[in-house]
A = this chain, B = another copy of it.
Amino acid sequence: MRVDVAFTPAGLAGAEVAGRTVFVVDVLRASTTIAVALANGSRGIIPVSSIDEAMKLVQTLERREVLLAGERNATRISGFDLGNSPLEMTESTVRGKTLIMTTTNGTRALLATTGAATVYLAAGVNLSVAGARAREALEQHRDLLVICAGREGSFGLDDAYAAGRLLALALGGRRLRKGLNDAALVSLDLARRYGVGWLRPLMASCAGRDLVSLGFRDDIALAADEDSCPVLPQFADRRITLAPVTVTAAAQ
């Protein structure tokens, strides 16, 4: 069994993804925002890679059932209904709506999952739910891959810490040293080093510092609120929805 982490989606080969149970992590902010939107009743999120694609897609759908969401450089795209802040995803805004979403890094990570067996989204707000599913996958002898969105193609501390927290839950006390790649080893190290509080690694990261300087400090506080949004987003058929509850999960 293999348990690997990719610190960025860049350079991931199809063979590394094929057949795996994949978790995509973009704590600041796409995976957090998507978890909150689904928890508040959104019917689903369609990630697209460009503003153009979002604009074309919205024209094929019933406009009042759809919201355009997304950011460039952390700021809402002109003409869009929403940015990429989890605080915008209130129940009164998103219930019953489909979101078409384009973000700088998160979308790229999702599009790198082609060929995976199953793709989930993980963040701090749904850590335990995601960790339980990762653990189940290991118990079913499935290979795990955590893809960090990272930051403009480079390493992000926020996502690497999240990957470590997720793997720690997935592995429990189990030692699987030979089956971990170097990024997985270092993620687990980071989880140990920073401990259980999300605020310190999120505020230390470049993504966190940039969000603070742009006035999004409250987004970080929300992203740091562990298990505040215990849902499991799943990406399948180009759409993110709540994962079907499995028999195992229901029996817990």
Q: Let me know if A80 is at the binding interface, CB within 8 A.
A: no
Chain A 79-117 interface 0/1 with B at a Cβ cutoff of 8 Å (1 = within): 000000000000000000000000000000000000000
Check: A7 CB closer than 8 A to any chain B CB.
Answer: yes
Are B182 and A151 in contact, CB atoms less than 8 angstroms apart? yes
Q: Does A227 contact B (CB under 8 A)?
A: no
Given the known interface contacts A6-B154, A7-B155, A10-B10, the answer about A186 and B183 at a Cβ–Cβ threshold of 8 Å is no
CB distance from A191 to the nearest CB of B (A): 12
A223 at the B interface (CB under 8 A): no
Residue of B nearest to A157 (CB): B182
Select which of B10, B155, B158, B189 is within 8 A of A183 by beta carbon: B155
Task: Determine whether A204 belongs to the interface, using a CB cutoff of 8 Å to chain B.
Answer: yes
Residues A182 and B155 in contact, CB atoms below 8 Å apart: yes
Please give the number of chain A residues whose Cβ is less than 8 angstroms from any Cβ of chain B in the complex.
31
Residues of B near A172 (CB, < 8 A) are none
B8, B189, B193, B205: the one contacting A11 at CB < 8 Å is B8
A233 proximal to B (CB < 8 A): no
Q: Please, how many angstroms separate the alpha-carbon atoms of A189 and B185 in the complex?
A: 13
List the B side residues contacting A152 at CB < 8 Å.
11, 13
Chain B residues with CB below 8 A from A153, complex form: 10-11, 13
Report the minimal beta-carbon distance from A185 to chain B, rounded to whole angstroms.
6
A:125-174 near B, CB below 8 Å:
151-158, 160
Question: Which A1-20 residues sit within 8 Å CB-CB of chain B?
Answer: 5-8, 10-13
What is the chain B residue whose CB lies nearest that of A194? B189
Residues of B contacting A205 in the complex (Cβ-Cβ under 8 angstroms):
182
Return chain B residues, CB-CB under 8 Å to A151. Answer: 182
If A13-B153, A155-B182 are given as contacts, then 5 extra A-B residue pairs at C-beta distance below 8 Å, sorted by A number, are A7-B7, A8-B10, A10-B10, A156-B182, A189-B193
8 smallest beta-carbon distances between A and B, as pairs: A11-B153, A157-B182, A155-B183, A10-B11, A10-B10, A7-B155, A182-B206, A155-B182
A residues at B contact (CB < 8 Å):
5-8, 10-13, 151-158, 160, 178, 181-183, 185-186, 189-190, 193, 204-207, 209
Pick 7 A–B contacts, CB within 8 A, sort by A. Answer: A10-B153, A11-B152, A11-B154, A155-B181, A157-B182, A157-B186, A181-B206
